[in-house]
Structure 1
Amino acid sequence: MASKRGLDFKRYFAGFDVNNVNLSEAGTWPIGIKVIFIVILFVAVTVAGNFLLLTDQQTQLESLKRDEPQLKAQITKKSEVVSGLPMYQTRLKELENRFKELLTQLPQKQEVPGLLDQMTNLGKNSGLTFRQIALQPEQKATFYQILPIDISVYGSYHAMGEFAYGLAALPRIVTLHDFTLTPQDDGSLQMVLRASTYRYLDDSDDSMAGAK
């Protein structure tokens, strides 16, 4: 019985010459050789696949290790930003309140004539004589309008200083530019300057711009 099994086993390898292996004739190989070849091929592919997979994972691991300091620095920086967020929010609120406060110092469109009357009364109370106080065409800026006012007055140096001080103390923002002082024959001075006040752009300005 054992001898018969040995003969059957050899039959699976009959006709195969290990010294004369030709892969182009693999289809004619005995079944035993085919099975062995398939097993060897499967093991080789599995080993190669695992090697490539491990190599790729090793490369990724080394890349992560190289990036670790940079990632830690980014996390630290973002943590600092997050921890400082309440302070930034408080500062932003302060700026918003300051902006609203400044807006209240910008005259509305209907308040401009009243501002001119204030400036005129201020000059007269300082002892000045007006030759001219005239509102010039508005100049548009980013979110506000510049309202130039040309002023020409006569009087003493002291009166002009008092007038300039009074303009700066007005509740509305008024800036002074382009001073010129010219002595007169009677000993007085002529002062020519441009004052500017500012008006916040409102919805009516946008409507007028759209209509144009």
Structure 2
Amino acid sequence: MSLNAEMRRLGELDWRELDVKEAGGWPWSLQLLLCLLVLGVMFFVMHGYLAGSAKERLHRARAEEARLIRDYRSKVAQAASLEALREQVSRLDTRMEALRGMLPTGAEVPSLLDSISEAAIDHRLAIVLLRLRDPVETDPYIERPFDIRVRGDYHRIGAFLADVANMPRIVTLHDLTLGPEEGGQRLRLSMQAKTYGYRGQDGGEP
């Protein structure tokens, strides 16, 4: 049968009268088209099923690749600065040891108070009170507060404060009150000073 005749037969076909049960008697061109259609549908279905999971795996692999690249670059940057970080840590350790050396032990606190008393006498101040309070434990230091009250003129008190702040051992000044004494030209200074001890410095005892 010629192609023209088959195409004419296909054009004259009443599509409403087609019955799947009689598909064997359909024109061969229609059967071919239906086979191609079924194959196309099967191809797209299989492609979507197989390629979909592959695309998902590819997406996850690309995301993992990007993460690994970021991690690699971060570690390369850390490795490049490792030596500088080690030097910085070494300097900080040295500085920390120096600062710890400026913290008096419990046995050295009385001599620190003696030094403060001597500074007051050197500046011709009258010592009203110099009293050590109970230590306060914090982590990792121990605060050792003490009260100071002295009398004298303004400039001598200022020089005394400068000497206390510049002691070889760390001393911080708190709650300063400066006012005139009753019936006189002298001033009275009241304050709390604190020195500190490292908990492991003398067996952890205050």
Unaligned 5+ segments in structure 1 are 1-47
In the alignment, which residue of structure 2 is the partner of 1:188?
186
Question: What is the rounded CA distance, in whole Å, between the counterparts of 2:157 and 2:202 in structure 1?
Answer: 37
> 5 Å matches for 1:53-68?
59-68=56-65
In the alignment, which residue of structure 1 is the partner of 2:7?
none
Q: Deviations over 1:31-86 (max 9, x none)?
A: xxxxxxxxxxxxxxxxx9xx96x875554233212333332122111211111111
Match of 1:92 among 64, 89, 94: 89
Q: Deviations over 1:102-153 (max 9, x none)?
A: 0000001111100000000001111100010000010111111001010011
> 5 Å matches for 1:23-102?
59-102=56-99
In the alignment, which residue of structure 1 is the partner of 2:196?
198
TM-score where L is the length of structure 2: 0.70
In the alignment, which residue of structure 1 is the partner of 2:135?
138
Q: Percent identity?
A: 29
TM-score where L is the length of structure 1: 0.68
> 5 Å matches for 1:162-173?
162-173=159-170
Question: What is the rounded CA distance, in whole Å, between the counterparts of 1:137 and 1:164 in structure 2?
Answer: 23
Question: What is the rounded CA distance, in whole Å, between the counterparts of 2:71 and 2:191 in structure 1?
Answer: 55
Supply the AA of the counterpart residue of 1:142: D
Deviation beyond 6 Å, 4+ runs, structure 1: none
Q: Does residue 156 of structure 1 match 2:153?
A: yes
Unaligned 5+ segments in structure 2 are 1-45
Question: What is the rounded CA distance, in whole Å, between the counterparts of 2:121 and 2:148 in structure 1?
Answer: 13
